[in-house]
Structure 1
Amino acid sequence: MLVGDKEEIMVLEQQYIGDEVYKGKVKDLARKYSSLRRTRPDGNCFFRSFGFALLESLYHNKSNYESFRIIAEKSKDKLLELGFQKFTLEDFHDQFMEVVNLIGKPDTTEETLFEVFNNKDYSDYVVVYLRLIASGQLQQDADFYQNFIEGNRTVFEFCRQEVEPMFKESDHIHIIALSTALDVGVRVRYMDRGDSTEAIAHDFPEDKAPQIHLLYRPGHYDILYPL
């Protein structure tokens, strides 16, 4: 499966038997979230989790759907202006919009979205297009993002090597770029070996209320559902 079923938060305890640090953080999560949904740990987990969680959120809150659909529709022209190749872009944008438009159809159910995201062709097209959107945002604001790129790489080089290719893992810079480009608030809970007794939350962008919630464990993202 690319996107799993909802599970109770406390199932995570089974992975950390005898590990009091992680078990404490699982208990903390359980006080704030009812369940989680796992995604395949293939390097695309952030983009796939983001895409599914966002569209699921829009399915349940149609008042935000139309404004997002317009942003998604216009994103292709924005990327073309930044120099992306039309023949590369159009196919991915068309497939992405096909999935986005499903949310606006009266006969679409949660199961429809679940099936689409577990259909590798559709699911991977969504991931690729979200990667392109993130890349476009990074290049549009290259002067700002250059400060966060290690080594001697330019923003353009970073995008070609670390953002656009499938299976490349994501970091803060990917999250900031994608959430900014689509005007979507994301709260990421970080569960690691840090000293804190809770899974620390970071909001992207910092001034926007979270629309979707993700759990980060070293190298991997899953979807969280608040109580």
Structure 2
Amino acid sequence: MANEQQESSQGEMEGVNCLAHDEAIMAQQDRIQQEIATTNPLVSDRQDLSVLQGEYASEDTIYQLKIKDLQKKYSYIRKTRPDGNCFYRAFGFAHLESLLEDSKELQRFKAVAAKSKLDLVNEGFTEFTIEDFHNTFMDLIELCEKQQSLGELLSSFNDQSMSDYIVVYLRLLTSGYLQREHVFFTHFIEGGRSVKEFCQQEVEPMSKESDHIHIIALAKALNVPVLVEYMDRGEGGTVNHHIFPEGKIILQFRSGSGFKPVTRTINQHHANWF
């Protein structure tokens, strides 16, 4: 009897210790996220690409050469908060900024965005659960149509509530396209999961990082080609780029740092993104 009580007591203590450990991890994660939030805007002002040079040691030859390669092609960079939502936020801001100077693309994009809610409903999403996110998305597009200034657009994307609503809707569009084309995408999903399970676990939840499969799906869903400039530690002084399916908006990606919009220099398609 005494042994049973002792084992029971030990089990309870182990349970308490596990709970305390989990709570400590969650508290640490919360502190990290708070630190990230206080030091990084959701979308930054324009910054010269030289800021990247200071983020790596001068003797880090591989990255320093690749930054110089980027400087030959792009005039500035914006940083996005590394919160797991950076691809969607960079994509949304980059394209909407380009629409301020491209009325023809704005009208095309507006029509696609307006129809997108029906596409999601047809895919099985409940209309009332996605309506507010879609309305916010459309409101921001219509503000661009009314000649919203760049400063106003930047303020909108740095409003946590509005910015997150845009991210949520872009995630839903990505999920909807993946599920609509599940026959194709099922070959790219690991772990024996269905496309729907992948979307529920890796696409729809906030703060989940994005990979090439997410980029392809969103680019296809909105018919907005994406070119990603990828900085890695491969040899050579040039930055690798990947086109999904062919580039117009330009994002720069570094492992562990997320996606950032960059803009071409004036002599190379002024104000085009990616």
Interval of TM-score (by shorter of Structure 1 and Structure 2): over 0.9
Question: Tell me, what secondary structure is at the counterpart of 1:3?
Answer: coil
Q: For 1:128 and 1:184, how far apart are their aligned partners in 2?
A: 18
Deviation at 1:195, TM superposition (A): 1.8
Matched, 1:134 2:174: yes
- 2 CA distance for matches of 1:126 and 1:194? 34
Structure 1 alignment gaps of length 5 or more: none
Task: State the AA in 2 paired with 1:131.
Answer: R
| Contact in 2 for aligned 1:28/1:198 (Cα 8 Å) | yes
Out of 133, 136, 148, the position equivalent to 1:95 is: 136
Instruction: Say which structure is richer in strand.
Output: 1
Match of 2:101 in 1: 60
2:60 to 19, 30, 37: 19
What secondary structure is seen at the aligned counterpart in 2 of 1:88? Answer: helix
CA contact (8 A) 1:54 1:211 kept: no
Report whether the alignment pairs 1:212 with 2:249.
yes
Give 1:80's aligned amino acid. V
How much is the aligned-residue C-alpha RMSD, in angstroms?
Answer: 0.8
Contact 1:3 1:117 in 2 (8 A): yes
Q: CA offset at residue 131 of structure 1?
A: 0.2
Structure with the bigger RCO (C-alpha within 8 Å, sep 6+) is 1
2:233 aligned residue: 193
Q: Matches of residues 1-227 of structure 1 in structure 2 within 5 Å?
A: 1-17=41-57, 18-106=59-147, 108-205=148-245, 208=246, 210-219=247-256, 220-227=258-265
Q: State percent identity of aligned pairs.
A: 50
Report the Cα offset of residue 211 of structure 1.
Answer: 2.2
| Deviation larger for 56-65 or 74-83 | 56-65
Q: Answer with 1 or 2: which has the greater Rg.
A: 2
Contact kept in structure 2, 1:57 and 1:211, CA below 8 Å? no
Aligned residues: 223
Unaligned 5+ segments in structure 2 are: 1-40, 266-274
Q: For residues 100 and 186 of structure 2, what CA distance do their matches in structure 1 show?
A: 36
User: What letter matches 2:243 in structure 1?
Assistant: D
When the two structures are superposed, what TM-score results if normalisation uses the length of structure 1? Answer: 0.96
Structure-2-length-normalised TM-score: 0.80
| 1:196 positional shift | 3.2
